[in-house]
Structures are given as C-alpha cells and as structure tokens.
Structure 1
Amino acid sequence: MTLLIIAIVTGLVVWALRLMDRALASQEFSLMLAGFLVASAAAAMVGVYFLMSDYMFYVHQSELLFQDQNFSEFLVLDDIASTESGLMSVDMATLLLDD
C-alpha cells in the first residue's frame, strides 16, 4: 500500500513540475495555477497518509488492549443479575399463591 501511495505522489509531483515548466515557457498563469493545485494534492495525500497511519496504529493498539482485558467480572455480574431475577420471580409467585 505504501508503494502505491509513493508511486501516485511521485506521478503527481512529476505532472505538477511539467505543468509549471510549460507555464513558464508559455507565460500562462492558468498552467502555473494547475501545477500548484496538483502539487497541493500530492502534499495533501502524503499528509492524509501520515494521519491515517497514526490512526490505524492507535486502533490496532486499542484492539490489543481490549483483547487483553479479563471479562470475568462481567460474567459474575451477569450471573448475579440472573439469580436475582430468578429470586424475584419466585417471590412474586409465592405472593400470588398466598393471596
């Protein structure tokens, strides 16, 4: 993936330089502006790549930390809740039968 991005950015930079070279030769402002915009797109692509690589590293680290947690507390709380609800239903049944 990195090689693909490097190839695309290199292609954009070469294209921008060719546009700017033609702009200097023909004295056209529009070609110079187009070259600047293409060079800006290449720079933005590199910036987004670095931001996303840091984000992907963060997500991967969070996933590893989440997998390392011990979930036994959740199971205990679930067991307690199920036994309490079972007791409540038994109590309600005895109250209804007593009436």
Structure 2
Amino acid sequence: MFFILFVVIGLVAWALHLMQEAIQRREFSLMLAGFLVSTAAAGMMAVYFLMNHYVGYMSEMAHRSYVMQESSDSIVWSGYVDPYTGRLLEPAELSALMDYRAN
C-alpha cells in the first residue's frame, strides 16, 4: 500500500512540475503531459481502491463458504418428510415409496 502511495505522490509531483514548466515556457504540450500524468495517478488510485474492495469481498465470500461447509457437514438426515402430509416417513414406508416410484 505504501509503495502505491509513494508512486502516486511521485506522479502528482511530476505532473505539477510539468504544468509549472508549461506555464513558464507557454507550451501546450507540457500542460497536456502534466494532465495525462495526473490522470494516470488518479486512475492508479481508483484501481487500487476497486481492487482493495474486491479482494476484501472475495475473502469474505471464501470465509462464508468455509463456515457454511463446516455447518452443513454436521447435518445428519434422519428421515424423509412426505410433502403432502408433512409427516416423517419411517424407513419401511420410505423404501415402499421408492419401490412404488421405480415401477
């Protein structure tokens, strides 16, 4: 982070120097160069902030999926609920239902 901050400060200082030279020499090309360098510094900061938020978002998603995986590993299915009646079917009823659906 500090490296990017130093690079951006250097780019802004260089842009200001170019613009100051442009005013002293009355050259449009130096003013344009200073504008382009300052635009590059602004773009670099924008990309830094976007990537920082993206990396934070992705690490949070990875943590959530890990927590969800751990919590779903402890679930033990003990039976099957009939969707029509809402009651828990016994293993014998479940095997009869599966045999009926297979035929």
TM > 0.5 between the two? Answer: yes
Structure 1 length-normalised TM? 0.70
Structure 2 length-normalised TM? 0.67
* Letter in structure 1 aligned against 2:24: A
Tell me the residue number matched to 2:6: 7
Structure 2: where are the runs of 5+ without partners?
78-103
* Letter in structure 2 aligned against 1:5: I
Tell me the residue number matched to 1:52: 51
Q: Which has the higher contact order (CA 8 A, sep 6+)?
A: 1
Structure 1: where are the runs of 5+ without partners?
77-99
How many angstroms apart in 2 are the aligned matches of 1:24 and 1:11? 20
How many angstroms apart in 1 are the aligned matches of 2:11 and 2:48? 15
How many angstroms apart in 1 are the aligned matches of 2:72 and 2:5? 43
The structure with the greater share of residues assigned to helix is 1
Tell me the residue number matched to 2:84: none
**After TM superposition, what 4+ stretches of structure 1 lie above 6 angstroms from structure 2?**
none
Count of residue pairs brought into register by the alignment = 74
How many angstroms apart in 1 are the aligned matches of 2:72 and 2:20? 63
Counting only pairs closer than 5 Å after superposition, residues 67-86 of structure 1 correspond to structure 2 as: 67-69=66-68, 70-72=71-73
